[in-house]
Amino acid sequence: MRKKTSDPLAARTRRAFLAQAGGGLGALALAALHADTGLAASDALAQKRPHHEPTAKSVIWCFMEGGPSHMDTFDPKPALEKYAGQPMPESYGRPLTAMPGTAHNTLMPSQRKWARHGDSGLWVSDWYPHVARHVDDLAVIRSCTADGLNHVGSVCQMNTGSILAGRPSMGAWVTYGLGSANRNLPTYVILNDEVRINGDSKNWSAGFLPAAYQGTLFKQEGAPILNLETPGGVGPGQQRGKLDLLAALNRHHADKHPQETELDARLQSYELAYRMQAHAPEAVDITQESEATKKLYGMDEERTALYGRNLLLARRLVERGVRFVQAYCGGWDAHRKIEENHTKWCGVSDKPIAGLLADLKSRGMLDETLVIWGGEFGRTPFNEQGDGRDHNPWGFTIWMAGGGVKGGQTIGTTDELGLRAEQSPYHVHDIHATILHLAGLNHLDLTYFHNGRSERATINGGKLINEVLA
């Protein structure tokens, strides 16, 4: 009778040992093959086949946080002049507003001067004179709708599809659906100006997707990526050895906790950081750009320098294979003194955005780069505190350009006062479905199994805005 032993190796037969060893050697060979292509066997960021041929290889989202007034920028409402100082007509009802009681306030006309521009004759106010030169590339969607009244929930919905935190952001879905096109830079990047983003990191979160798909926030000053530079006195061999040791420790822990995707994300982030130490400094070094290019983005003027730098950096990133960049701009929340507020933020964003469009076009990149402008909602036609406007999720404007978009057109309408979407209303989920389509992904087929159901970026809604497509 064979003696029992606690030694697991002693308990195995020679045949079992060779079989298991052979399997292990096969796995090592498979890993080596993947390593030759720069991909790990469980690489969450490996490139994936799109559902259909994409027209946009990358996305640059100029996010005007706080809610720009559509009726003062891209959706003129002459009826506001006609009914100025009068209360909202009873036929419009009394919407539930962010600030109680404002729905009973009087109508306030726009003080802007309007003109038609380009061959298409699109209307743009004098707050956006530089962008106005590019209207033939813009598809201006005037009938957008959303669900939230406050900024935190509404910024969250414009990013994730829900006013409640916890769902993946649009950049995370794109990264999940397509993988990375550049092994040396983050696939999804967030750029911010001096204004704190409402909701912070939940707006670029991976939600219930694996953590590897979350966005990377770049710093405003100095090296954009935290802890990117190797400490003085640490050579490449020492740095590589340190990362290998960390990887071994993390994998040992990950083997015991296979459901914790944050561990896999941590491993990949260390490896990405190692590669970025060699490649990212060049990507973010805008001193390589000509003075003429920097001037095109407004970097020679104090008010446009920061946002101009961010959009120039966005162009450099997508040029190097970054799929999704969000460049946040300002605090457009003009409950009072809208003239002062919007004059500032239109001035901050106008020249840099126009510079981005011109630069992309001159480099032959606009056709494959989707540019989006807009905030989380618009503003009301009635006044708040006499010289401001309240939040308006019932009808507002965003525009898209490049990346397979049919420019030189307006899509949908709001009513004559600009309160509600009237013709062809399009919800945030429809906007997201269209972004995904342009990137080569069908929002109905892009799913992730979570808590017993197949989740979609557009939840249970979303339809393609066909008029946008070229």
Closest CA to 359 of 371, 347, 348: 371
Specify whether the CB–CB gap between 294 and 312 falls below 8 A. Answer: yes
Contact 192, 215 (CB under 8 A): no
| Contact predicate 163/156, CB 8 Å | yes
Angle at 221 between CA 215 and CA 223, to 5 degrees: 70
- In this structure, are residues 268 and 212 in contact, taking their beta carbons and an 8 Å threshold? yes
DSSP state of 92: G
- How far is 361 from 354, CA to CA, in rounded Å? 11
DSSP state of 367: G
Burial class (CB in 10 A: 0-12, 13-18, 19+), 319: middle
**Residue 239 confidence (pLDDT):** 63
Q: Collapse the DSSP code of 364 into the 3-class scheme (helix H, G, I; strand E, B; otherwise coil) and give the result.
A: coil
CB–CB of 408/136 below 8 Å?
yes
Q: From start to end of 304-439, where are the E strands?
A: 324-328, 369-374, 378-384, 388-392, 396-401, 409-411, 413-414, 421-423, 426-427
For residues 370 and 170, give the distance between their C-alpha atoms in angstroms, rounded to a whole number: 14
Report pTM: 0.85
Reference 66, options 193, 205, 244, 238; nearest CA is 193
Q: How far apart are CA 368 and CA 147, in angstroms?
A: 31
CA distance 406 to 443: 20
Angle (CA) 288 289 290, round 5°:
120
Confidence (pLDDT) at 95 = 87
Cβ contacts of residue 246 below 8 Å, gap of 6+? 270
Are 176 and 448 a contacting pair, CB within 8 Å? Answer: yes
75 contacts 414 by C-beta, under 8 angstroms: yes
Query: Which pLDDT score, from 0 to 100, does residue 273 have?
Result: 63
Can you read off the two tokens belonging to residue 424? 């062809």
Query: Which is it for strands 138-145 and 122-125: parallel, antiparallel or unpaired?
Result: unpaired
Strand 426-427 to strand 138-145: parallel, antiparallel, or no bridges (unpaired)? parallel
pLDDT of residue 193: 93
Contact 417, 379 (CB under 8 A): no
Contacts of residue 175, defined as CB under 8 A and 6 or more positions apart, other chains included, come to 45, 187, 188, 213, 323, 324
pLDDT along the chain (470 residues), means of 10: 41 48 37 35 83 98 98 98 94 87 93 98 98 98 97 98 98 97 92 94 96 90 64 64 71 71 65 66 90 98 97 97 97 98 98 98 98 98 96 98 98 98 98 98 97 96 97
Report CA dihedral (52, 463, 435, 55) to the nearest 10 degrees: 30
Q: Determine the pLDDT at residue 251.
A: 74
